[in-house]
Amino acid sequence: MYKITPGIHHILHGVDHTRQLEYALALTLPAHTLMQRASLAVARLALAIAPHAQRIWIACGPGNNGGDGLEAAWHLQQWGKHCVVTWLGDAGHAPADAAAAHQKLLDAGFSIQTKLPSGHFDLCIDALLGIGTSLREPQGPLADWIRQINAQGGPILSVDLPSGLHADTGQANQLSVQASHTLSLLTLKPGLFTAQGRDAAGAIWFDALAADTHTLDTVAPLARLNARPLACVRQHATHKGSYGDVAVIGGAPGMTGAALLAASAALHAGAGRVFVGLLDDDALKVDAQQPELMFRTFRSLDLSSMTLVCGCGGGPVIQTVLHEVLSSQSPVVIDADALNEIAKDSTLQATLSARRGQNVATVMTPHPLEAARLLAVSTHQIQGDRLAAAQAMAQRFGCTVVLKGSGTVIACPEQTPVINITGNARLASAGTGDVLAGMVGAQLAAGHKAFDAACSAVYQHGHLADSWPPELALTAKQLANGGPSCG
């Protein structure tokens, strides 16, 4: 058992995959083995979370998630804890393992309650639903128990998933458990790491229940967690040309700042040279604070020799240059207003899709509303299944897609999608998306493949936010410069 932290590669399995693995293991293990392993893991983590807890409420649902809770109660009672066990199940209709766990408690003299318990508890263990959460809102006693768990104010340990959170998507019911800790069993589930999952799950722990890696490898993953990129050590015998040129194309009248943020980010992320092609004829010709940035008119840029970051602060005028940008053979990052213009223009969509056949790198970096426009659906539908939405965009446009948000998803045709877990809500600030576009551009300019460039930039972008001094406000300008210590 171990705690999940950013930077380590982990594969993620959805509900169907997890049940396939459970079935495969059941064919090779004695009956009740997986539940025994799971319950012991739950009990051990409960002790680690709240070692001095004496009164523990274990809320058990009718399925095998509830069975894990029932068995965990037995262990905790053996170790001197006072456990109040409530169960929504029916011994006559419960799954075999859960029924066996229920009988084990009865034989041990437990009083198993069916009504909402009273009083305060030092720890609550949520073993209500696990991967059995459905789209239907909790009703009756289940709803009452979830409300009471959340109202306790102390630590809450959810077994496998917080009840009310969907394992595959990270969507949470309006009424769901808000855990302080979650122990994911046998597999890690994508929903823990994207959409509402990161808020609902708290600290995430994992126990593979001693399943051998061969068994886990028999089922293809639904996604994987973004790994920390390898440290880039620059050779002494290199020069600025070794790290490529980036041209940021955007900054329509009144929106110069977005383009400058992207350009600054590309510069500080390691691009050899950064050009700024502003779409405002009356805008800056030089930035005295960043004289390294080279300002050019769009027409004077040699699009064939540089990585293009297009759309930051582009406004509607970006439409006048998009066809030329997308028709180039250069790597392209498409962000912001460029995405909105593509969503409205079928000709631009066709030009974008044609880049896949030309084997040129393309990365799109939409937020959920931009993604909704590109797929002609609602933002609610995008957020309802972020993995599926990112993959749909990647397939439709034949490129790498970075669907920004809590648990940013990076998808690419013929690749297992990646969920990134660096970053936090301090990135919910104007301009941070422009910074990310510039960072992706620098990675592409250095010669990385589109998918790898996106994964690396997204990780580093979030890591900067996670490393931010808590007493300082996060601003896009400082983020672009590599953090507050860098000016």
pLDDT at position 287? 84
Encode pLDDT of 156-195 as tens digits.
999 999 999 999 999 999 999 999 999 999 999 999 999 9
User: Is 80 exceeded by the pLDDT of residue 153?
Assistant: yes
pLDDT at position 284? 76
User: Is 70 exceeded by the pLDDT of residue 213?
Assistant: no
pLDDT at position 135? 80
CA 149/CA 128 separation, integer angstroms: 11
User: Is 90 exceeded by the pLDDT of residue 267?
Assistant: yes
Q: Where are the alpha helices (DSSP H) in 224-314?
A: 256-268
CA 333/CA 250 separation, integer angstroms: 12
Encode pLDDT of 219-235 as tens digits.
789 999 999 998 888 88
Q: Mean pLDDT over all residues of the chain? A: 95
Is 293 in contact with 260 (CB distance < 8 Å)? yes
User: Is 80 exceeded by the pLDDT of residue 467?
Assistant: yes
User: Is 80 exceeded by the pLDDT of residue 363?
Assistant: yes
Encode pLDDT of 406-434 as tens digits.
999 999 999 999 999 999 999 999 999 99
Collapsing DSSP to helix, strand or coil, 457 comes out as helix
Contacts by 354-357, CB closer than 8 A, 24 or more apart: 355/326, 355/398, 355/399, 356/397, 356/398, 356/399, 356/413, 357/398
Residue 486's pLDDT band (boundaries 50, 70, 90)?
Answer: low
H or E segment to which residue 248 belongs: strand 245-250
Residue 281's pLDDT band (boundaries 50, 70, 90)?
Answer: confident
Give the helix, strand, coil percentages of the chain, each rounded to 5.
Answer: 45, 15, 40
pLDDT at position 404? 98
**CB within 8 Å of 91: residues ≥ 6 apart:** 99, 102, 103
Q: Which residue has the higher pLDDT, 282 or 309?
A: 309
pLDDT at position 216? 64
H or E segment to which residue 82 belongs: strand 82-87
CA 14/CA 301 separation, integer angstroms: 47
User: Is 60 exceeded by the pLDDT of residue 310?
Assistant: yes
CA 309/CA 288 separation, integer angstroms: 22
